[in-house]
A = this chain, B = another copy of it.
Amino acid sequence: MSRNVKDQAADIKRYSVNLAGSTEQERNRALEAVKEALWENRSIIFQENQTDMDLGIQHGLSDPILKRLRFDESKLRSVLDGIEDLIRMSDPLGKTLLKRELDTALTLEKITCPIGVIGVIFESRPDALVQIAALCLKSGNCALMKGGSEAMRTNRILYRTIFEAACGCGIDPHFLTLLESRSQIDELLECEGSIDLLIPRGSNEFVSYIMEHTKIPVMGHASGICHVYVDKHANIKQAVAVVLDSKLQYVVVCNAAETILVHERIASVFLPELIRELGNRTLEIRGDEAVAQIIPCVPASEDDFGTEFADRIASVKIVSSTEEAAAHINRYGSGHTDAILTEDSDAAETFFALVDSASVMHNCSTRFADGYRYGFGAEVGVSTGKLHARGPVGLDGLTTYKYLVRGNGHIVAPYENGDKEFRFKNL
């Protein structure tokens, strides 16, 4: 393990075809073995985690970090359930996306295959290690992982357990590698050519840093600046409930709303009703001048729009049309998730067409934008990029495709000089 990361990554790349060529049975059998081994090793896993926790407390880690660091029986059961779900899911590899006869005895087939080598960099949560290792194994991708140093002992025993169980089923040992030194992150970011995709999981600053410092494609989202637009034809009672759910049900997550846009024709009814329904729950409202004329609020600065508060704060702005709302969202949002609340289906369709975000909601909470709630099963992450995978990403996001062409000595010369013609026929 003393080799540099570039050499390790090049090696993994070279051997990644072995995992790619494994059968569904082999990969599922390995996942079964991983599941059993994790359960069998649970006492030592919990013990190692306790050491990480004790050291974390000594080092004064914050409560939310300690909460994420904790790996107990309930977290273990949850990741084992996840692996069980993955085993049951149909094979994402070798699916035929297109089959076409190009000419007699010359056929084109487009089939799904693994992306290859995935670099995974995550903070704190050891359950992420298990989850991502399982997703990569199911989809035939080799994973090169770097976890947070505060979870080092937990990560190490989880890694060893998974590694040994899968290798014991004949999976190529290059399928999973754990990096432990912080300095290796920068080395990892320079492995373009060996690593095909990076998946960072952690704070906005952390993800932004990764995105800024690598030439490898990154799947993820730095920020979730989500909006709820309350149209003039909104059902007030429903709108209040959806706004409160979007904003307050869980404030730190990326699909929570940050900004509420309200149509000028409904603001004087909606905003006081929102305050009333809020009751004694805390919510700091930062409003523009028009909002301040209706309800008490902190004056909003330009910066309050386009900020992910991830807190009990909302910026509020009055707009005069669905078009203005959409333009505001496209300018200040992060392309993650935005909602319109209206009984006017034309306004909803306009909003759907104009808002350039991965998920666009009509009469429901932004918080539904999530792989589990979309029924994708295991979630790889949420992408705010527009290429490859967008929005909540399931197992499919870890696959690409290749074209296989089968001929019988076909050459292009006769097609070029007009002696032969293609006769395309989908099979």
A-side residues, CB < 8 A to B, are: 13-14, 16-17, 20-21, 100, 102, 106, 108, 115-116, 196-197, 212, 215, 217, 235, 238, 241-242, 244-246, 249-250, 326-327, 330-331, 348, 352-365, 367-369, 373-375, 385-388, 390-392, 400-413, 415-416, 422, 424
Let me know if A102 and B375 touch, CB within 8 A.
yes
- By beta carbon, the residue of chain B nearest A416 is B249
Contact of A108 among B244, B326, B375 (CB under 8 A): B375
A227 to chain B, nearest CB (A): 14
Q: Known contacts A17-B353, A373-B102; is A412 also within 8 Å of B368 by CB? A: yes
A14-B327, A373-B102 known; A402 vs B242 contact (CB < 8 Å): no
Contact A412 B365 (CB under 8 A): yes
Asked if B116 and A356 make an inter-chain contact with CB atoms under 8 angstroms apart, the answer reads: yes
Residues of B within 8 A of A250 (CB): 416
Q: Which of B106, B356, B411 contacts A245 (CB 8 A)?
A: B411
- Which chain B residue lies CB-closest to A357? B402
Chain B residues with CB below 8 A from A327, complex form? 14
Contact A106 B410 (CB under 8 A): no
Residues of B within 8 Å of A217, CB to CB, are 217, 385, 387
Partner of A102, one of B21, B102, B362, B374: B374
Of B20, B330, B400, B422, which one neighbours A14 at CB under 8 angstroms? B330
Q: Which B residues are in CB contact (< 8 Å) with A116?
A: 356, 386
The secondary-structure label for the interface of chain A is mixed
19 A–B contacts from the bound complex (CB under 8 Å): A100-B374, A106-B364, A106-B368, A116-B356, A197-B386, A241-B409, A242-B411, A245-B411, A245-B413, A250-B416, A348-B406, A358-B402, A360-B402, A361-B405, A361-B406, A362-B406, A363-B409, A368-B412, A373-B412
Give every chain B residue within 8 A of A367 (Cβ-Cβ). Answer: 411-412
List 9 tightest A-B contacts by C-beta distance, closest first: A364-B407, A245-B411, A238-B409, A375-B424, A387-B388, A364-B410, A367-B412, A21-B353, A388-B388
The answer on a CB contact under 8 Å between B14 and A368 is: no
**Cβ of A401 and Cβ of B409 under 8 Å apart?**
no
Copies in the complex: 2
B360 x A405 contact (CB < 8 A): yes
Which B residues are in CB contact (< 8 Å) with A408? 238, 363-364
Instruction: Find the residue from A13, A102, A353 having the highest chain B CB count within 10 A.
Output: A353
Q: Which of A116, A245, A367, A410 counts the most chain B CB atoms within 10 A?
A: A410
Q: Point out the residues of chain B lying under 8 angstroms from A348, CB to CB.
A: 406
- Contact between A365 and B411 (Cβ–Cβ < 8 Å)? yes
Q: Report whether A403 and B375 are in contact in the complex, using a CB–CB cutoff of 8 Å.
A: no
By a CB distance below 8 angstroms, the chain B residues around A406 are: 348, 361-364
- A323: nearest chain-B partner, CB-CB: B17
Q: Is the Cβ of B375 less than 8 Å from the Cβ of A249?
A: no
Chain B residues, Cβ within 8 Å of A352: 404
Interface contact B407-A17, CB-CB below 8 Å: no
Closest to A363 in B: B407
Residue of B nearest to A399 (CB): B386
In-complex Cβ contact of A403 among B16, B246, B353, B360 (8 A)? B360
Given the contacts A14-B331, A197-B387, A416-B249, A409 and B374 also touching, CB distance less than 8 Å: no
Q: Give bound CA distance, A369 to B404, whole Å.
A: 10
Instruction: Select from chain B the residue with minimum beta-carbon distance to A407.
Output: B364
Q: Which residues of B are found within 8 Å of A21, using beta-carbon distances? A: 353-354
Least distance between A17 CB and chain B CB atoms (Å): 5
CA distance A205 to B85 in the complex (A): 47
The minimal Cβ–Cβ distance linking A89 to chain B, given in whole angstroms, is 13
Contact, CB under 8 Å: A100 / B411:
no
Residue of B nearest to A17 (CB): B354
A261 CA / B238 CA spacing, docked (Å): 68
**Which residue of B197, B242, B362, B386 is within 8 Å of A115 (Cβ)?**
B386
